[in-house]
Amino acid sequence: MSLTTSEYDSLLREYEQRQLDGEKELRRRKEEVAQAVPAIAEIEERIVDGSLQAARLALAGNTSALDALGRTNEWLINQKRQLLVGAGYPADYLERHYTCPLCKDTGTEIVTNADGSETRRPCTCFRRAIIDRYYMDDGLRQRLARENFTTFDLRFYSPQRVDAATGQTYRAIAETALADAKDYADRFGSEYRNLMISGYSGVGKTFLANCIAGELLSHGYTVLYLSAFRLFEIFEHYRFGDRESSRQASLDFDNILDCDLLIIDDLGTEMSNSYTTSQLFVCLEERDREKKSTLITTNLTMDELSKRYSERIASRLFLFRYIKLFADDIRIQSML
């Protein structure tokens, strides 16, 4: 599943509708209050008049009159609140209520830069809605609900079998991996780090990645989960697709670069070529520049990764924090 242009437009229209609904609802409340407490409507008119007058005074540079007007307006706003509460309404009944206060339901966040200029960018709520709607399927939702830090079961990891390279038991290694993954999720947002979870098939790599994904999603981060196969398919469409599919891939690509955490599952299982490999580098490089974290799970060792991908990619991957898991096949064990 991925995002099409018409789906993107339809989400934009939903935001427009949300704004219209919000305005309509506010008008309804104003009319209701004007009927019930006419004095409030009068105060509201005086507040509006005051704001217009303030704009004129500010233009004329009349600061003392402006201060006085400011105090009067504050007093009026207070009066309005008291009257509202007195009549049994919430104090903010005549204010606009937004689903997302950050972007005021426009879907666009305006950020003021250090030099005073403004940058417009899609609000987190908008990015989340896109990912939630167009990249999460039911299967993934169910997996995320099932596979979390409370259900990660260390009993699947043998307390007897030992990894020859480190001399540690599979259980001890898994305990460290679990603690590292929790730590990674806890520090996400305050510390920029990339993570690689490696190990043979069936040792619980994707499970552990899902634990992190679920934790971050619950804290409002945007997490985009893609199998390596799907990611490379998007890279292909970006370049070789017909007009519509490359336009879609371009939207996908924006989300790949933009999400707070990108999870690439099972790197090494995809069909790759020099073009898609170079796109993987662009993706890692760009995310690194923006300090946006990437989490990779893979069956391959670091050695195999450097052989399979370019030197430049390997040098990036070497900087990832590395978690390794060992187990007898967990999926087989859990079936027994």
Residues at the site binding Zn ion, with contacts judged by CB under 5 A: 100, 102-103, 123, 125
Buried b (16+ CB within 10 A) or exposed e, 204-238: bbbbbbbbbbbbbbeeebbbbbbbbebbbbbbbbb
What is the distance between the alpha carbons of residues 261 and 135, in angstroms, rounded to a whole number? Answer: 13
Structure tokens at 26: 């506010």
Least separation in angstroms between residue 123's CB and Zn ion is 3
Least separation in angstroms between residue 220's CB and Zn ion is 11
Least separation in angstroms between residue 189's CB and Zn ion is 17
Nearer to Zn ion, 109 or 233 (CB): 109
CB 12 within 8 A of CB 251: no
Least separation in angstroms between residue 241's CB and Zn ion is 31
Residues 6+ apart with CB under 8 A from 216: 185, 188, 223, 260, 261
Least separation in angstroms between residue 266's CB and Zn ion is 33
Nearer to Zn ion, 218 or 301 (CB): 218
Least separation in angstroms between residue 106's CB and Zn ion is 7
CB 147 within 8 A of CB 214: yes
Nearer to Zn ion, 127 or 171 (CB): 127
Taken in order 297, 300, 303, 305, is the CA torsion positive or negative?
negative
Nearer to Zn ion, 125 or 185 (CB): 125
DSSP state of 325: -
Nearer to Zn ion, 91 or 102 (CB): 102
Nearer to Zn ion, 125 or 256 (CB): 125
Of 125, 130, 131, 122, nearest in space to 100 by CA: 125
What is the distance between the alpha carbons of residues 193 and 196, in angstroms, rounded to a whole number? Answer: 10
The values of phi and psi at residue 106, to 5°, are: -90, -20
Nearer to Zn ion, 99 or 166 (CB): 99
Strand partners, 295: 195, 263
Least separation in angstroms between residue 126's CB and Zn ion is 6
